[in-house]
């Protein structure tokens, strides 16, 4: 069956399998090799990968509706895009976003390779004003950690009218919630470390290109700079993808319930979650996404020390950076100097909601907040 005829919940299970032939394995083997026996192509794993990597790429490509190129980490994907741009590139980048992406663009500016225009990418008018004469526009579907929702069709339309390439970091959304290529994006990035892997046990990334030319350019860059992921990581990532739909279903249901309860809690002053009807991003997310994701940011009343103490009091939820795993994680983002510099409120806690029972999560958060 052609994966493009299936719904995403079936694609995650069916895509990226070995061919259905008698005695063929159902699951992709973990192929551990650097060279292959010589042929006209003269294969070598840094350049050509293995069938384990390609199976993962097929699954993600089918989910996003493009051609996937896997990388050894999410930031290796960001670097492949940034460093593949010619010197003199004018790039519109988020003023607040995933800190690793910002660090890569900041370095490009410091090296004199790029001119940056930093904007709040959830402010549609501001991005549209900034894209004139731009070469590259970097977006996040939902901004990290303030949870602003980006108006992808409007911004991508304007960026293309200006002749810019648009790359959308869709890590927070996953292909179950948002498919930016449908809105015309040229490239989509995922930190596979997060939801696609889903178990907080690997570091890996993937870029999905809307055209074969862009995919080929990324594969060349990956071979050139050594960004190929390992076979074991690729296997675990594909295994994670198999359960992506059910994990997202539970995590999003949990997140919706916890966001409502947090919003009514006396120790919480503000909740940022696009699923709440009064959230500034609600209307856009309801219109453009299939769901509201499972990351909640909320501010607590009191000091940064109190916010930090909430993170040390949780017992089921884990105090750690990262997101997108089966286990719930919490963190005070302003503890990272770069987030603090980019205006993250000092008492903002980012909660990545996992797939535990919602009542156990609520009991834990309530005791930690009191």
Closer of 194 and 222 to ligand PLP (Cβ):
194
Beta strand 295-300 with 268-272: parallel, antiparallel or unpaired?
antiparallel
Q: Which of 46, 133, 201, 287 is catalytic?
A: 46
As measured in angstroms, the least distance from the Cβ of 360 to ligand PLP is 25
Position of minimal CB gap to ligand PLP: 74
Distance from C-alpha of 124 to C-alpha of 103, rounded to nearest angstrom: 23
User: Where are the extended beta strands (E) located within 174-291?
Assistant: 187-191, 205-209, 268-272
Closer of 28 and 174 to ligand PLP (Cβ):
174
Closer of 284 and 295 to ligand PLP (Cβ):
295
Closer of 98 and 183 to ligand PLP (Cβ):
98
Closer of 165 and 191 to ligand PLP (Cβ):
191
Mutual orientation of helices 358-369 and 244-263 as an angle, nearest 10°?
A: 40
Q: Which of 54, 118, 194, 247 is catalytic?
A: 194
201 is catalytic: no
From the list 76, 84, 74, the residue with the least C-alpha distance to 46 is 76
As measured in angstroms, the least distance from the Cβ of 189 to ligand PLP is 7
As measured in angstroms, the least distance from the Cβ of 148 to ligand PLP is 13
Q: What SS3 class is residue 330?
A: strand
110 is catalytic: no
Q: What SS3 class is residue 114?
A: strand
Q: Which of 169, 186, 279, 364 is catalytic?
A: 169
As beta bridge partners, residue 89 has: 114
As measured in angstroms, the least distance from the Cβ of 138 to ligand PLP is 10
194 is catalytic: yes
As measured in angstroms, the least distance from the Cβ of 348 to ligand PLP is 16
Q: Which residues of 80-118 are buried (b: 16+ CB within 10 A; e: fewer)?
A: bbbebbeeebbbbbbbbbbbebbebbbebeeeebbebbb
Residues that bind ligand PLP (CB under 6 A): 73-75, 98, 100-101, 140, 144, 169, 171-172, 191, 193-194, 203, 205
From the list 344, 330, 268, the residue with the least C-alpha distance to 299 is 268
Mind telling me the catalytic residues?
A: 46, 98, 169, 194
């Amino acid at each position: 069956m052609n994966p493009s005829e299936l719904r995403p919940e079936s694609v995650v299970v069916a895509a990226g399998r070995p061919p259905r032939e008698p005695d063929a394995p159902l699951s992709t083997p973990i192929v551990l090799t650097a060279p292959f026996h010589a042929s006209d192509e003269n294969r070598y794993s840094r350049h050509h990968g293995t069938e384990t990597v390609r199976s993962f790429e097929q699954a993600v490509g089918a989910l996003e509706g493009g051609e996937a190129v896997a990388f050894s980490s999410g930031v290796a994907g960001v670097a492949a895009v940034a460093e593949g741009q010619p010197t003199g590139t004018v790039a519109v980048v988020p003023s607040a976003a995933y800190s690793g992406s910002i660090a890569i663009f900041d370095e490009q500016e410091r090296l004199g390779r790029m001119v940056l225009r930093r904007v709040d990418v959830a402010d549609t008018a501001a991005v549209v004003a900034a894209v004139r004469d731009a070469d590259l526009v970097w977006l996040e579907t939902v901004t990290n950690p303030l949870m602003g929702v980006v108006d992808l069709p409007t911004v991508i339309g304007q960026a293309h009218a200006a002749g810019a390439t648009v790359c959308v970091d869709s890590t927070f959304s996953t292909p179950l919630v948002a498919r930016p290529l449908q809105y015309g994006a040229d490239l989509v990035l995922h930190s596979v470390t997060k939801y696609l892997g889903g178990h907080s046990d690997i570091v890996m990334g993937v870029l999905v290109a809307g055209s074969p030319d862009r995919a080929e350019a990324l594969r060349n860059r990956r071979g050139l700079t050594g960004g190929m992921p390992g076979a074991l990581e690729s296997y675990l990532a594909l295994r994670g993808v198999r359960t992506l739909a059910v994990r997202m279903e539970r995590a999003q249901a949990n997140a919706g319930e916890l966001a409502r309860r947090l919003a009514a809690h006396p120790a919480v002053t503000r909740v940022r979650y696009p699923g709440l009807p009064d959230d500034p991003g609600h209307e856009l997310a309801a219109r453009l996404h299939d769901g509201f994701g499972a990351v909640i940011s909320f501010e607590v009343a009191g000091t940064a020390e109190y916010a930090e103490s909430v993170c040390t009091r949780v017992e089921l939820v884990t105090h750690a950076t990262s997101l997108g795993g089966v286990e719930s994680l919490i963190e005070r983002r302003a503890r990272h100097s770069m987030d603090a510099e980019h205006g993250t409120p000092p008492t903002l806690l980012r909660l990545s909601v996992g797939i535990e029972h919602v009542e156990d999560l609520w009991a834990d958060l309530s005791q930690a907040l009191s």
